[in-house]
Chain A
Amino acid sequence: MTLTAAPPEAGATHGRRAPRRRWRHAGTVAVFLLPSLVPLTLYTLVPMVASLWTSLHEWDLITEMRWVGLGNYVELIGDPGTRAAFGHTLYFIAGYLPLVYLGGLGLALLLNRAMAGRSLLRGIYFLPVITSWVVVALMWKWLLNPASGIVNWALGLVGVSGPGWWTDPAWAMPSVILASAWKDLGFVMIILLAGLQAIPKEYQEAAMVDGASAVRRFRHITLPLLSPSSFFVVVISLINGFQMFDQVKIMTGGGPGGATQVVVSQIYDLTFRYGRAGAASALSWLLFALVLLVTIVQIRGQKRWVTYG
């Protein structure tokens, strides 16, 4: 009796109470999210909206803002300095991304093998990742000092006259790329290492039993199954590349002769050197648009090469 009577009761109760319970649930979630939601709103969303507003004005930080509509965008798009900055950023990415990915992959493969001191080496390679950019940039600036740096001294020992590194416009960007790849190598290595360890051993063993060579196993098992991790590090490294600033600010200050002036250092100079916060905000949005576009293309494109499971 009770059994037959109970279901409709429960069902009715359920039907009536569910929305309220769901709202109560949402309320609980919101309370727990507050600690991250508040700073996110205050320090990311609000400034983003504010910078969109600022980008439509001319503003030197000390006078009232003056409305210029899309004037900043029009000016920036026609400005050779802006085009040069985007060019330098792309140059950086073109050098940095392959170097950091292939280097990281090599290290991950190496340190995935059973060998003595493996954990220690993993730790050592990860050390630069958690080191402050200021320290790393100053260290590389010193290593690559054309007159008294260790690198040119070592090159001199083998009879090579070292280049001017960051004091020479042709070598300045390669210097920055070298330092950046060195610093981020450990990050790529750790992500790929985790990816490698997630590949079931059975696949490799089965392929071995079938007589597949090491190269074929790498190409047809390791690489495809590592592709989700590869995708992740490529997306992250690319965004990092677009946003890079610290190393340039410290190593070259955008020089020599503007050879390493990238988009973000241009944004910084526009705001704080030239008192043009409006133009700087507009440039930030242009950069955002580019990063968004590239990321969308990557996510769309991942179907072609990323294998899950």
Chain B
Amino acid sequence: MKTRTKVAAALAAALLASACSQGSATKAPSGEGGRTTLRYFTFSAAPDHVKDLDAIVAAFEKQNPSIDVVVETAPFDEYFTKLQTSIAGGTAPDTFELNYENFVTYAGAGSLLDLGAVGGDGDLSAYAAESLNAFKRDGKQYALPASFSTVVLFYNKDLFEKAGVDLPTADWTWADEQAAAEKLTDRKKGVYGDFQPVQFFEFYKTLKQAGGEFLSADGKKSAFDSPQGVKAAEWLVSKVGRTMPTEAEIGGTADYDTNLFKSGKLAMWHNGIWQFAGLKDVPFEWDVVVEPGDAGKASAVFHNAVAVSSTTKLGKEAYAWARFLSSSDVAASTRIASSWELPPVADQQVLAGYLKDPKPANRQAVFDALESIALPPVIKRQQEMQDAVTKELSEAASGRKPVPDALKAAAAEVDALLG
């Protein structure tokens, strides 16, 4: 009797121990029928473009029957947390997407495979040179540019016409935008003239529009606590509660601005071209234009790239997939046909196809925006810098701090991060 309970207890313990050892993600990379499984982790596909990515994967697998690409997606907010922990845990995906802002961190940390070393032939002429250079470090190509996108001013044509306000043009300045936004705002009807989030990404761009710089020339100190910086921050903050809803009115609702624009209650909206696909069926006329400037024009460009983990056992296969995803005709035409982000190809003929789509009419603005761009400042402690700037700007936006004080505090925090 006693022995039997002992055996039972030991058995239970053994069962538990074996249960613990399961669920480990380090499995040998082998698929069915001798196919090699290659993992790809991405933030830009879900939710609107999973099918488009599947089409690219299918075309790749047709060309490379021995490789089985497994796609994993995560929303942007959680993406880098998951990527970091998987690298730390030794279960990094073979290939993964990186944006320009985070590329430096990962390349510097030695998490990325030098693609020149596995690439062999090294013919990269298919890529636009400036996109390629964005993902080089110390002369080595650590990632291949896969897509880029710009931020433009979306506007609801119907609202403009109803209010008798002239439509935005490429020559508009902040003053024109503000005058129009004030005329278009009708709080009683819940209609707002403008929407531009008060945060880091809008700030570094408007700062450039005002003629200021975010960091000093040597990159060792902040430079945004300047008259231009104050002007840019004042511009963003001045909209809150006047032509744009306040934080309390937004009430933390997810995709508040997207829904506001889609419901026809937002006249002007600063957002990225990745929104095109989602606006296909709205019941009103809309178009886009290069964002208004101040002292000059400056548009935000976001670059995404595909990188290969330095720990992968499938360097060759991973490189083949990275090449295919970033420069194949199938990938480029799929991105263009679905109004996803743009392929960073050198061949302008490929991009010309993008202009054929009739909606929005002024698609040329997407390319015009590239004429003067504002790249985000990138430092080693990137996320902390972004959070610090956004936090102080929101202090100013809610009226708890005068703009100059908020900028001074943000500059002190950024300097501490650089020091």
**Residues on A facing B (Cβ under 8 Å):** 28, 31-32, 34-35, 38-39, 42, 60-63, 141, 145-149, 164, 166-169, 255-258, 272-275, 277
B:247-272 near A, CB below 8 Å: 247-252
Binds A, one of B82-90, B332-340, B367-375: B82-90
| Contact flags B375-409 to A (C-beta < 8 A → 1, else 0) | 00000010110010001001100101000000000
* A42-B20, A275-B105 known; A147 vs B248 contact (CB < 8 Å): yes
The answer to whether A62 and B88 have CB atoms under 8 Å apart is: yes
The answer to whether A256 and B247 have CB atoms under 8 Å apart is: yes
Closest 10 CB pairs of A and B: A34-B13, A61-B88, A146-B248, A63-B109, A272-B81, A62-B109, A164-B248, A167-B248, A145-B251, A31-B9
B110 close to A (CB within 8 Å): yes
The answer to whether B109 and A256 have CB atoms under 8 Å apart is: no
B16 close to A (CB within 8 Å): yes
CA–CA, A164 and B252, complex, Å: 12
Partner of A39, one of B9, B20, B105, B391: B20
24 chain-A/chain-B pairs, Cβ below 8 angstroms: A28-B6, A34-B9, A34-B10, A35-B9, A35-B16, A38-B17, A38-B20, A60-B109, A62-B84, A62-B109, A63-B111, A145-B252, A147-B251, A166-B252, A167-B247, A167-B252, A168-B248, A169-B398, A169-B400, A255-B391, A273-B383, A273-B387, A274-B381, A274-B383
CA–CA, A31 and B10, complex, Å: 6
CA–CA, A147 and B252, complex, Å: 10
B:229-281 near A, CB below 8 Å: 247-252
**For residue A62, which residues in chain B have a CB less than 8 angstroms away from its CB?**
84, 87-88, 105-106, 109, 111
Looking at the assembled complex, report how far the CB atom of A70 sits from the nearest CB atom of chain B, in whole angstroms. 20
CA–CA, A164 and B247, complex, Å: 9
The answer to whether A257 and B387 have CB atoms under 8 Å apart is: no
**For residue B384, which residues in chain A have a CB less than 8 angstroms away from its CB?**
273-274
**For residue B106, which residues in chain A have a CB less than 8 angstroms away from its CB?**
62
**For residue A166, which residues in chain B have a CB less than 8 angstroms away from its CB?**
252
The answer to whether B400 and A32 have CB atoms under 8 Å apart is: no
B:107-121 near A, CB below 8 Å: 109-111
Partner of B16, one of A38, A61, A168: A38
CA–CA, A256 and B248, complex, Å: 11
CA–CA, A256 and B396, complex, Å: 12
The answer to whether B6 and A61 have CB atoms under 8 Å apart is: no
The answer to whether B87 and A61 have CB atoms under 8 Å apart is: yes
Looking at the assembled complex, report how far the CB atom of B144 sits from the nearest CB atom of chain A, in whole angstroms. 20
CA–CA, A166 and B398, complex, Å: 13
The answer to whether B249 and A256 have CB atoms under 8 Å apart is: no
**For residue A38, which residues in chain B have a CB less than 8 angstroms away from its CB?**
13, 16-17, 20
Looking at the assembled complex, report how far the CB atom of A47 sits from the nearest CB atom of chain B, in whole angstroms. 13
The answer to whether A61 and B394 have CB atoms under 8 Å apart is: no
**For residue B109, which residues in chain A have a CB less than 8 angstroms away from its CB?**
60, 62-63
CA–CA, A306 and B387, complex, Å: 47
Looking at the assembled complex, report how far the CB atom of B378 sits from the nearest CB atom of chain A, in whole angstroms. 15
B12 close to A (CB within 8 Å): yes
| Contact flags B205-224 to A (C-beta < 8 A → 1, else 0) | 00000000000000000000
**For residue A274, which residues in chain B have a CB less than 8 angstroms away from its CB?**
381, 383-384
The answer to whether A258 and B84 have CB atoms under 8 Å apart is: no
Looking at the assembled complex, report how far the CB atom of B190 sits from the nearest CB atom of chain A, in whole angstroms. 11
**For residue B13, which residues in chain A have a CB less than 8 angstroms away from its CB?**
31, 34-35, 38
Looking at the assembled complex, report how far the CB atom of B245 sits from the nearest CB atom of chain A, in whole angstroms. 9
CA–CA, A154 and B77, complex, Å: 34
Looking at the assembled complex, report how far the CB atom of A270 sits from the nearest CB atom of chain B, in whole angstroms. 9
**For residue B10, which residues in chain A have a CB less than 8 angstroms away from its CB?**
31, 34
**For residue B381, which residues in chain A have a CB less than 8 angstroms away from its CB?**
274
Partner of A148, one of B12, B105, B251: B251
CA–CA, A62 and B84, complex, Å: 6
Q: Which A residue sits closest to B17, measured CB to CB?
A: A38
Q: Which A residue sits closest to B7, measured CB to CB?
A: A31
CA–CA, A186 and B136, complex, Å: 58
Specify which of B10, B88, B251, B383 lies most central, judged by the most chain A CB atoms within 10 Å of its CB.
B251
Partner of A272, one of B85, B391, B398: B85
**For residue A34, which residues in chain B have a CB less than 8 angstroms away from its CB?**
9-10, 12-13, 16
**For residue A273, which residues in chain B have a CB less than 8 angstroms away from its CB?**
81, 383-384, 387
| Contact flags B65-78 to A (C-beta < 8 A → 1, else 0) | 00000000000000
Looking at the assembled complex, report how far the CB atom of B234 sits from the nearest CB atom of chain A, in whole angstroms. 18
Q: Which B residue sits closest to A162, measured CB to CB?
A: B248
The answer to whether B9 and A32 have CB atoms under 8 Å apart is: yes
**For residue B251, which residues in chain A have a CB less than 8 angstroms away from its CB?**
145-149, 167
CA–CA, A145 and B383, complex, Å: 28
CA–CA, A231 and B195, complex, Å: 53
Q: Which A residue sits closest to B88, measured CB to CB?
A: A61
**For residue B17, which residues in chain A have a CB less than 8 angstroms away from its CB?**
38
Q: Which B residue sits closest to A146, measured CB to CB?
A: B248
**For residue B84, which residues in chain A have a CB less than 8 angstroms away from its CB?**
60-62, 272, 275
Specify which of A32, A42, A164, A257 lies most central, judged by the most chain B CB atoms within 10 Å of its CB.
A257
CA–CA, A179 and B20, complex, Å: 35
Given A38-B13, A61-B87, A257-B398, 14 further pairs, Cβ under 8 A: A31-B6, A34-B12, A145-B251, A146-B251, A147-B249, A147-B250, A148-B251, A169-B400, A255-B391, A257-B394, A257-B400, A272-B84, A274-B383, A274-B384
**For residue B394, which residues in chain A have a CB less than 8 angstroms away from its CB?**
255-257
Looking at the assembled complex, report how far the CB atom of B209 sits from the nearest CB atom of chain A, in whole angstroms. 26
B:142-157 near A, CB below 8 Å: none
**For residue B400, which residues in chain A have a CB less than 8 angstroms away from its CB?**
169, 257
CA–CA, A32 and B6, complex, Å: 8
**For residue A141, which residues in chain B have a CB less than 8 angstroms away from its CB?**
252
**For residue B249, which residues in chain A have a CB less than 8 angstroms away from its CB?**
146-147
**For residue B20, which residues in chain A have a CB less than 8 angstroms away from its CB?**
38-39, 42
